[in-house]
Amino acid sequence: MSTEEQDNTKNKKPGFFKRAFGFKSKEEKLAEAAALKAERQAKVDAGMAERMAIINAAALKAARQQDEAHLSETEKARLEAQDRKQAEIQALEDAKIAKKLVEEKREREDELKRKAAQDATRLKAEAIESERLAAEKLAREKSETEKIARLKQAEAQAKQEEAAKLKAEREHAEAEIAARAEAERLEAEKIAAERLEAERLAAKAEAEQAAKRKQLETQLIEEQAEREEKARLMREVWRAEQAALRAEKGEQGFLGRISSGLSKSTSAMSDNISAIFTMRKLDAEALEDLEDLLIAADFGVGPATRTAELLAKDRFDKQVTDTEIKIALADVISEVLTPLEKPLTLTGAKPEIMLFVGVNGSGKTTTLGKIAKRYTDEGKKVLLAAGDTFRAAAVEQLNIWGERSGAPVVSAALGADASGLVYDAISRAKAENYDILMIDTAGRLQNRTELMDELAKIVRVIKKQDDTAPHHSILVLDATVGQNALLQTEAFQKTAGITGLIMTKLDGTAKGGVLVALADKFKLPIHAIGIGERIQDLENFSAPVFAAALSGIADAVVDS
Say how many CA atoms lie within 13 Å of 111 toward its Cβ.
Answer: 6
User: Is residue 142 one of the residues assigned to a domain?
Assistant: yes
Task: Say yes or no: 315 and 356 in one domain.
Answer: no
Backbone φ, ψ for residue 357 (5° rounding): -130, 160
Number of domains in the chain: 3
CATH number at residue 293: 1.20.120.140
User: What pLDDT, on a 0 to 100 scale, did the predictor assign at position 269?
Assistant: 64
CATH number at residue 437: 3.40.50.300
The answer, yes or no, to whether the previous bond of 544 is cis (omega within 30 of 0) is no
Last residue of a domain, one of 274, 307, 336: 336
Say how many CA atoms lie within 13 Å of 541 toward its Cβ.
Answer: 27
Domain that residue 135 falls in = 3-150
User: Is residue 135 one of the residues assigned to a domain?
Assistant: yes
User: What pLDDT, on a 0 to 100 scale, did the predictor assign at position 510?
Assistant: 57
d(Cα 436, Cα 424) in Å, to the nearest integer? 15
Task: Say yes or no: 317 and 463 in one domain.
Answer: no
From the CA atom positions of the chain, what is the Rg in Å? Answer: 69
User: Is residue 81 one of the residues assigned to a domain?
Assistant: yes
User: Is residue 167 one of the residues assigned to a domain?
Assistant: no
Task: Say yes or no: 273 and 405 in one domain.
Answer: no
Partners of 353 in the β-ladder: 437
User: Is residue 204 one of the residues assigned to a domain?
Assistant: no
- What CA–CA distances, in Å, run from 205 to 209, 212, 400? 6, 10, 49
Task: Say yes or no: 309 and 431 in one domain.
Answer: no
Partners of 382 in the β-ladder: 436
Backbone φ, ψ for residue 542 (5° rounding): -125, 115
Task: Say yes or no: 507 and 399 in one domain.
Answer: yes
pLDDT in tens, the chain (560 residues): 545 544 444 454 555 445 544 556 666 677 777 778 777 877 777 677 677 767 777 777 776 676 666 656 777 777 778 777 887 787 788 778 878 887 888 888 888 888 878 878 888 888 888 888 988 888 888 888 888 988 888 888 888 888 888 888 888 888 888 888 888 888 888 888 888 888 888 888 878 878 877 876 677 577 556 545 654 554 454 445 444 544 444 444 555 555 555 555 555 566 667 666 665 677 888 788 888 888 887 788 888 888 788 777 776 677 777 777 788 888 888 888 999 999 999 999 999 999 999 988 888 999 999 999 999 999 999 999 998 888 778 888 899 999 999 999 999 888 888 899 999 999 999 999 999 999 998 876 656 677 788 889 999 999 999 999 999 999 999 888 888 888 899 989 988 899 999 998 877 655 678 888 898 889 999 999 887 777 777 888 888 888 887 777 764 443 33
- What CA–CA distances, in Å, run from 285 to 269, 280, 321, 455, 488? 18, 11, 16, 48, 34
Task: Say yes or no: 528 and 394 in one domain.
Answer: yes
Last residue of a domain, one of 316, 336, 356: 336
Task: Say yes or no: 437 and 529 in one domain.
Answer: yes
Task: Say yes or no: 381 and 439 in one domain.
Answer: yes
Task: Say yes or no: 306 and 412 in one domain.
Answer: no
Task: Say yes or no: 430 and 486 in one domain.
Answer: yes
Helix ranges (H only) for 250-283 are 254-261, 263-277
Last residue of a domain, one of 320, 336, 352: 336
User: Is residue 177 one of the residues assigned to a domain?
Assistant: no
d(Cα 410, Cα 429) in Å, to the nearest integer? 10
Task: Say yes or no: 9 and 132 in one domain.
Answer: yes
Number of other residues whose CB lies within 10 A of the CB of residue 436: 24
User: Is residue 553 one of the residues assigned to a domain?
Assistant: no
User: Is residue 432 one of the residues assigned to a domain?
Assistant: yes
* Listed residue (505, 443, 510) closest to 479, CA to CA: 505
Helix (H) or strand (E) holding 428: helix 418-431
CB 552 within 8 A of CB 513: no
Task: Say yes or no: 449 and 512 in one domain.
Answer: yes
